[in-house]
């Protein structure tokens, strides 16, 4: 049985691998963005996850989400955990099948102490309180805004601030446009890349100090 870290040695230094492995990721939303982000991050070496979602896999999800038809009806958090463990069987993955509110999020942050929180939900009100509460607790957060439609991936932007990143075209909501695999996956990949940037830049910053 292979050890996933042996693959990573082709791409990262030992120090980088250690930092990636030690980073705890909280992923809120395991649908189009979340399942793709998790798939990318686990392949990049991240192995400590808290997955949060209240939905179950539907057949219509298969146009853009990392699930299979055999997983129809399963809790998304459980189905995604199974899929991630097929890539790295030693990953530590905690699942929470629940629609969280502000108080839930506060309690989970205090209990789990994640390093980076990824917002991958559709509801704008939920997006807002995830962003606000995360920053209030001094955590880093990677968000998305504007992921729907097609043919305009060149409009995807990255807005960075202290401890936060927002990725998307900042305009096209799924309320007005359909969520399709190319653009959803593109934004998910950029969110995952921003997580990696945060982690590896943290190593560089410590070296400079």
User: What CATH number is attached to the domain comprising 198?
Assistant: 3.40.50.720
12 and 45 in contact (C-beta within 8 Å)?
yes
Tokens of 26: 């909280």
Tell me how far apart the alpha carbons of residues 121 and 137 are, in angstroms, rounded to a whole number: 20
Per-residue pLDDT of the chain (209 residues; tens, 9 = 90+): 568 989 999 999 999 999 999 999 999 999 999 999 999 999 999 999 999 999 999 999 999 999 999 999 999 999 999 999 999 999 999 999 999 999 999 999 999 999 999 999 999 999 999 999 999 999 999 999 999 999 999 999 999 999 999 999 999 988 899 999 999 999 999 999 999 999 999 765 555 44
Residue with tokens 């999800």, as numbered in its chain: 61
Tell me the residue range of the domain where 204 lies.
4-208
Measured CA to CA in angstroms, residue 172 lies from 42, 55, 146 at distances of 28, 23, 5
Task: Give the tens place of pLDDT for each residue, 95-138.
Answer: 999 999 999 999 999 999 999 999 999 999 999 999 999 999 99
Residue 207 exposed, middle or buried by CB count within 10 Å (0-12, 13-18, 19+): exposed
User: CA 130, CA 41: separation in Å to the nearest integer?
Assistant: 20
> Total structural domains in the chain?
1
């Amino acid at each position: 049985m292979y050890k996933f870290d042996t693959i990573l040695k082709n791409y990262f230094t030992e120090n980088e691998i250690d930092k990636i492995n030690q980073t705890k990721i909280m992923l809120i939303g395991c649908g189009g963005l979340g399942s793709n982000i998790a798939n990318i991050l686990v392949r990049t070496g991240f192995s400590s996850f808290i997955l949060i979602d209240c939905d179950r896999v539907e057949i219509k999800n298969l146009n853009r989400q990392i699930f299979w038809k055999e997983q129809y009806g399963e809790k998304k958090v459980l189905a995604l955990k199974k899929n991630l463990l097929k890539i790295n069987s030693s990953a530590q993955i905690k699942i929470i099948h629940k629609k969280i509110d502000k108080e839930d999020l506060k309690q989970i942050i205090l209990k789990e102490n994640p390093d980076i929180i990824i917002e991958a939900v559709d509801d704008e009100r939920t997006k807002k309180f995830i962003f606000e509460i995360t920053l209030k607790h001094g955590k880093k957060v990677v968000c998305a805004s504007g992921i729907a439609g097609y043919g305009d991936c060149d409009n995807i932007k990255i807005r960075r601030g202290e401890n936060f990143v927002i990725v998307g075209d900042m305009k096209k909501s799924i309320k007005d446009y359909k969520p399709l695999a190319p653009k959803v996956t593109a934004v998910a990949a950029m969110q995952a890349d921003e997580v990696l940037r945060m982690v590896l830049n943290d190593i560089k910053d410590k070296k400079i100090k």
